[in-house]
Amino acid sequence: MHKLSNVLSAQKALKLVIATGLILVNIQVYAQTTTSHSPYSKFGLGQMREDLLPQTRSMGGISTAVRYQSGLPILNIANPASYSAFSRTIFEAGLYGNSTELAKGNAKDNTSDFAFSHLAIGVPLSQKFGGLAFGLMPYSDVGYNATAVKSNANLVSLETSSGEGGINKAFFGYGVSPVKGLSVGANIGFLFGELNDISSVSFPTDPSMYNARYRETRLIRGATVDYGIQYSKAISRKLNLTVGYSGSLNNTVKSKTTLLATRTEPSSDPDFQNIALDTVSFQEGLARKINLPMKHNIGFTLSKGYNWMVGADFKYADWSDFQTRVGEPSLGKNYGFAVGGQIKPDPTSVRYWNIVDYRLGFRYNQTQVKYNDRNINDMAVTVGIGLPLPETNFGMTFSRINISAEFGQQGSLSNNLVRERYINLNLGFTLNDTWFRRRSYD
C-alpha cells in the first residue's frame, strides 16, 4: 500500500505543478507590463529583484547562510550551496504585490500592482551527489512616469517620459557536499526580456499640432553564473552555526536596441492616442555587450533545531563598469546589510498557532544609483509567517504557506528627489514531498 500511495501522491503533485504554472503564466500575461513604480528604475537595468523567496524576504532578506528552516531543508536560490541539503523534492510557487506612495515636494501619488513571483523546483539526488534546482524568477523591471508642462509664448507643450518592461531569469543549479559540513554550488541563469523607454511631446491646447513620440527598446539576452559556499557545524548539543558566501562572475550579456521616432495625431480619446501617422526615424538592432556587476555576499545563521534561527548578511556589488546609455549618470557601488530571524513558539504543541513560524527582519542598502549628487538609499522592516498545512502521505509530505511583507522607503524629499514609501507583499506555497523515492511493500 505504501508504494501505491506514493505514486498517487506524485501524480497529484505533478498536476498541481502544471495547474499552478498555467495560472501564473495567465496572470503574468494579463497583468500590467511592470511591477515597479519607481522613478529610479530608469537607471541601469531597472529595479533589481533579488533571488529571494517569501521565507527569506521576511527575515530582512538574509539568505547567504540559510540551509534549513524549522528543521527542513529550504530551496534557497540565493546560495546554491544549500541545494546539497535537500532530502525531499521541494516545489515553490508564489505571487508578488506592491503598493507605493510617491512624493516630491507637496505632490503625492499612489500606485499598486501584482505579478508572478517565482516558480522553482529542488530535487535531491543523494547524500553523496547533492541536489539540483531549476525555475523561473523576475530579475529586474522598469516602471516610471514623469510629466512636465512647458510654455513658449502662447504655445503650451506637454513632455512625458515613461518606462516599462522587465527581465526574467530562468536558472539551473547544482549543490554538493564534498566533505562533512562543507557545501558548494552554482547556478547557471539565462536572462531574457525587454525594457522600453518612451518620451513624447504633445500640444494639448492646439489640436492642429502634430505630436512626437520616441521609443527606445532594449532587448536583453545572456547567460549568468552565480556560485556559493556554506559551512555548517554544531557548536553545542542544541545550537548550530552556519557561515556562507555567495557571489557572481563578471557576467556579460547582450543588449540589442531599437530606436523608433514617430509623429502622432492628437486625440482626446485614450484608445486612439499615440497612433503613428508616419515614421521620422528607425534604427534596428544596435547591439552591444554590457557588464553585470560582480557581487559578494557573506553571512551567518545561528539556529536551535525547530525552535529559532537568527542571522545577518553583508552585501556588496560594483556597478562601476556597467555601460550606461548616453546622457545617463554612471552607476556606483551597492553596499547593504540585513538582519533577521524566525521563531516557532512550541514545535511539540497541539495548538496550531504555537507551531507557526514568525519572522522579522531589517535591511538597508546604499543603492548603485546616485542622483542630484545624492546616493539613493533603500531600507525596510520585514515581517512574515509560515503557516504549516496538514501532513499527508503517511507523514512524508509537508506543505507550507509563506507570507511576507516589506515596509520600506527609497529616496528622500531632500535635494529635489522623489521619496518612495512602499509595501511589498509576497505569497508563496511550499511543498516538500518524496516524489522520486522508491518504496517497497510492507
Residue 149 makes CB contacts below 8 A (sequence gap 6+) with: 156, 157, 158, 159
Domain 10-433 has CATH 2.40.160.60: yes
Average pLDDT estimate for 263-283: 69
Whether the predicted pLDDT of 276 surpasses 80: no
pLDDT value of position 127: 84
pLDDT over 90 for what percent of the chain? Answer: 56
Q: Which residue has the cell 527575515?
A: 59
pLDDT value of position 273: 60
Q: How confident is the model at residue 30 (pLDDT cuts 50, 70, 90)?
A: very low
Q: Mind listing the pLDDT tens digit for each residue in 397-438? A: 778 899 999 999 999 988 888 999 999 999 999 988 776 555
Q: Mind listing the pLDDT tens digit for each residue in 169-179? A: 999 999 999 99
pLDDT over 70 for what percent of the chain? Answer: 86
pLDDT value of position 282: 82
pLDDT value of position 373: 83
Q: Mind listing the pLDDT tens digit for each residue in 107-139? A: 888 888 888 889 999 999 988 899 999 999 999
- The answer to whether 52 and 58 are in contact (CB under 8 A) is no
65 secondary structure, DSSP code: T
Q: What is the DSSP string of 213-265?
A: EEEEEEEEEEEEEEEEEEEEEE-SSS-EEEEEEEEE---EEEEEEEEEEEEE-
For residues 335 and 377, give the distance between their C-alpha atoms in angstroms, rounded to a whole number: 10
Ranking 146-150, 273-277, 398-402, 429-433 by mean pLDDT, the lowest is 273-277
- The answer to whether 430 and 55 are in contact (CB under 8 A) is yes
Q: Virtual CA dihedral for 368, 369, 373, 378, nearest 10 degrees?
A: -90
Q: Mind listing the pLDDT tens digit for each residue in 307-350? A: 999 999 999 999 988 888 877 888 999 999 999 999 999 998 98
Burial of 203 (0-12, 13-18, 19+ CB in 10 A): middle
Ranking 50-64, 81-95, 275-289 by mean pLDDT, the lowest is 275-289
Residue 153 makes CB contacts below 8 A (sequence gap 6+) with: none
More confident residue, 270 or 58: 58
Strand partners of residue 283: 259
Whether the predicted pLDDT of 382 surpasses 90: yes
